[in-house]
Amino acid sequence: MLGILMLQTCFPRPRGDIGHPETLGFATRRRVVTGASPARVVRSDDPALLEPFIAAARQLVAEGCTALSTSCGFLARWQRELQAAVPVPLWSSALLQLAEAQALGLRCGVITIEAASLGPAHFEGVGADPATPVEGITPGSALHRTLLQDLPTLDEADAQAQVLAAAQRLLARQPGIDTLVLECTNLPPYAPALRAATGLQVLDVVTLLNARMAALAASAAR
């Protein structure tokens, strides 16, 4: 069973979002980390953030979870610290796929909820190239405000348009990119449209968790 460390939010979570109960096809257990607001996790590098996540992670392990993830890709910054605190695999962020893809020679770009807040420490935390090209959702857009201000409404059509527009801006700057990585765990609902619009491979928290959990199950079966 996968344990998911959830930020404390009220915004809607459509299917494909890590918080939707039907997004993943295996058993999950979610635990909300009190005080972990989206703005605080995205915009702060305060180590005080770690302790409540570690406490919640240990509780999930005690409840039988054999692997852990989080609901915010910015926790890549703390991948090593979080993993060291628990005895089971912990995958903090979709950005973990970056190092693997880059090792294979793939030319990756990242789409994030807030480009101004995603820095070298997040990439270094997961062993990826800190010079990886990044494009953010338009600051002040409806999607940006919904997620970072934790608003109770979500315009899904606008959200998809924002993700596609971010990809267009990124590819205009970096036309050699062949793989897109969605940092934000709220963006996978729009990954199918992104694949269709760009023809590129799109990696996100769903592809990460499906692959890692399948590998765990195969290892356990041997």
Is residue 77 domain-shared with residue 12, that is, in the same domain? yes
Is residue 112 domain-shared with residue 132, that is, in the same domain? yes
pLDDT at residue 221, rounded to an integer: 83
Is residue 168 domain-shared with residue 68, that is, in the same domain? no
Q: Please state the pTM of the whole predicted model.
A: 0.97
Tokens of 19: 């918080």
Is residue 100 domain-shared with residue 137, that is, in the same domain? yes
pLDDT at residue 81, rounded to an integer: 98
Is residue 193 domain-shared with residue 216, that is, in the same domain? no
pLDDT at residue 74, rounded to an integer: 98
Is residue 132 domain-shared with residue 191, that is, in the same domain? yes
Q: What is the CATH number of the domain that holds 48?
A: 3.40.50.1860
Is residue 85 domain-shared with residue 126, that is, in the same domain? no
> Please, are residues 126 and 91 in contact by the beta-carbon 8 Å criterion?
no
pLDDT at residue 23, rounded to an integer: 98
Tokens of 57: 């992670």
pLDDT at residue 174, rounded to an integer: 97
Is residue 147 domain-shared with residue 215, that is, in the same domain? no
pLDDT at residue 19, rounded to an integer: 97
Bridge partners (DSSP) of residue 91 are 69
Is residue 83 domain-shared with residue 148, that is, in the same domain? no
Domain count, the chain: 2
pLDDT at residue 134, rounded to an integer: 98
Distance of alpha carbon 185 from alpha carbon 204, whole angstroms: 7
Distance of alpha carbon 97 from alpha carbon 39, whole angstroms: 24
Q: What is the CA radius of gyration of the chain?
A: 16
pLDDT tens readout for residues 57-111: 999 999 999 999 999 999 999 999 999 999 999 999 999 999 999 999 999 999 9
pLDDT at residue 63, rounded to an integer: 98
In the predicted model, residues of the chain with pLDDT beneath 50 are none
Is residue 62 domain-shared with residue 154, that is, in the same domain? no
Is residue 122 domain-shared with residue 158, that is, in the same domain? yes
Per DSSP, the residues of 4-47 read EEE----S---BTBTTSTTSSSS-EEEEE-TT--HHHHHH---G
Tokens of 20: 């939707």
Is residue 184 domain-shared with residue 148, that is, in the same domain? yes
Q: Which domain holds residue 72?
A: 2-93+207-221
